[in-house]
Amino acid sequence: MQSIMGSLTVCVFLLSLCAGVLSCELKSSEKVISQRASLETYIKEKKPSIGNQYRLLYHVAPPVGWMNDPNGFSYFKGQFHLFYQFYPYNSSLSPAASIHWGHSTSANLIDWTEQPTALIPDEEQIFSGSAIEISGTLVLMYTAHINPAIAGQNATELQYLAFSNDGIVFNKYKNNPVISRSPNGSPDFRDPKVWKYGDYYYVVLGSRTDQGLGRVLLYRSQDMASWTFLSVVGQPSSRMGYMWECPDFFELGGKYILLMSPQGIIAEGDRYKNLYQTGYIIGDFNYQNHEFVERVPFQEIDYGHDFYATQTAERDGKRYLIAWFGMWNTTFPESAEGWAGAMTIFRELTLRGDRILMRPVSTINSLRESSAFNGDLIQNAAIQLNKTGELNVSGNLSQAIDLDIKGSEGGGVRIRWNATSKIVSVDRDGDVRQGPWTPVGSTSWRIFLDASSMELFCGEGEVVFSSRAYPTGHWVVTNLSAQSLSVSAFRLRKSV
């Protein structure tokens, strides 16, 4: 009976949601339609002027302007949907920029089609959020960041809804906000990630304590409109920074994963060297008392220079992940071309012991266009690629491995394996990231190159590096090791 009543409650809510939008003044509807048409015309006219030296060929990137966090990663009516933080009018982001939600769709997580901009700001900047299908409707839940001039105080963050029957045209809920403040009134209260369990909808949000420590808050609702605060997920501590952004919470391999992007963690040797981190805590969770018990403390999920603000989605029993392929307070050379920011390739997650493994989705093999090399690459020998490439590299791990991956005219990275310390490192123009690797099973490297990016997957995904890299000319891969390496290399096709 409770399940039936819950379904009826949601149906009534969706009807009221539609009625709320349809009851808006006609002038407001005409304004939204005009804004959408004007923006799509602007994008269409701007695209021919966008430069392509660093334009990625198989990573999702903005058609024009700026991109950051992935949002609303979901599956709806036969398509994966990926939304993202989008500012179409400039390739750099200022505090005054009015953030939109861009939108792309794919049937296979590889071939992506650009869709019209999903959400356009009114009084609010449209910060990050998530998506869920309810009775054939795609519902978006996002943070509305209201600036001080409108809020009449410090900037305020509220939780809004929008919906679509076709997954393309979205309308905002007339009775927004659905959550108007954090339990302690903190103005930092953002990035809702929503899911359903049993008869209830749940959402986690990033926020801060009164002492200025990051934390994640858990809420519950029967109808997506009225929410009740339940608990704090994860224990704040001074070593874990002042804000936890972009939280995600899901079950994987019989454990619960709290995945988030903390701000303010202090670097410890080779750990936490980026301005902000992304990582996870493994624990147990009870839906009866809403308590999350930590079993394995926070650890980074990616060791590269450019990886932040992850989102996951589950489909057919598999958990997929996407992240912003960037980092705050860094240089984006592509900005000079009229665009900036991108997404990583999509990864599948599994849990082995106390570590999440990240592997490229299996459909990525469909990108292979032609073979560039297959055999033993002797010392100082090189492989010539074009703007893209996939490398599968194996060697004797009791000896050092040293790969120089550079543009034919400069720019790129150098990847090394230290057989003594068991450390993998990625050196980008002297800026080094390192991660300890203890291979279990596969001992090969899988490397993906695009026009301005490099992603390295070690073994079965125990250690992963995601780094933007900016070659001049085409990619050239040179074996600087004292040993020969077994290498298969492929040129990859365009898919975005």
* Distances from the Cα of 360 to the Cα of 60, 275, 325, 475, angstroms: 15, 25, 15, 21
| Neighbouring residues of 41: CB distance < 8 A, sequence distance ≥ 6 | none
Spatial separation of the C-alpha atoms in residues 292 and 232, rounded to whole Å: 8
Q: Which helix (H) or strand (E) holds 316?
A: none
Spatial separation of the C-alpha atoms in residues 183 and 197, rounded to whole Å: 23
By 3-state DSSP, what share of the chain in percent is helix, strand and coil, each rounded to 5? 15, 50, 40
Spatial separation of the C-alpha atoms in residues 24 and 151, rounded to whole Å: 22
| Closest C-alpha among 328, 280, 318, 275 to residue 301 | 280
What six digits make up the tokens of 389? 């490439």
Q: How long, in residues, is the chain?
A: 496
Strand partners, 37: none
136 by Cβ neighbours in 10 Å (0-12 / 13-18 / 19+) ranks as exposed
270 is catalytic: no
Spatial separation of the C-alpha atoms in residues 487 and 383, rounded to whole Å: 10
262 by Cβ neighbours in 10 Å (0-12 / 13-18 / 19+) ranks as buried
* Distances from the Cα of 184 to the Cα of 187, 213, 229, 450, angstroms: 9, 13, 11, 45
Spatial separation of the C-alpha atoms in residues 328 and 266, rounded to whole Å: 16
Spatial separation of the C-alpha atoms in residues 451 and 339, rounded to whole Å: 14
Among candidate residues 69, 223, 306, 450, the one labeled active-site is 69
> Peptide bond preceding 63: is omega within 30 degrees of 0, i.e. cis?
no
Side-chain-facing half-sphere of 104: CA atoms under 13 Å:
23
Radius of gyration of the chain, Cα coordinates, nearest whole angstrom: 23
Strands of the 156-164 sheet, one edge to the other = 125-134, 137-146, 156-164, 171-172
What is the distance in angstroms between the CA of the first residue and the CA of the last residue of the chain? 47
Inter-residue contact 47 to 64 (CB < 8 Å): yes
Q: Which helix (H) or strand (E) holds 204?
A: strand 200-208
Residue 306's region, left for phi above 0, alpha for psi from -120 to 50, else beta, is beta
- Which residues are annotated as catalytic? 69
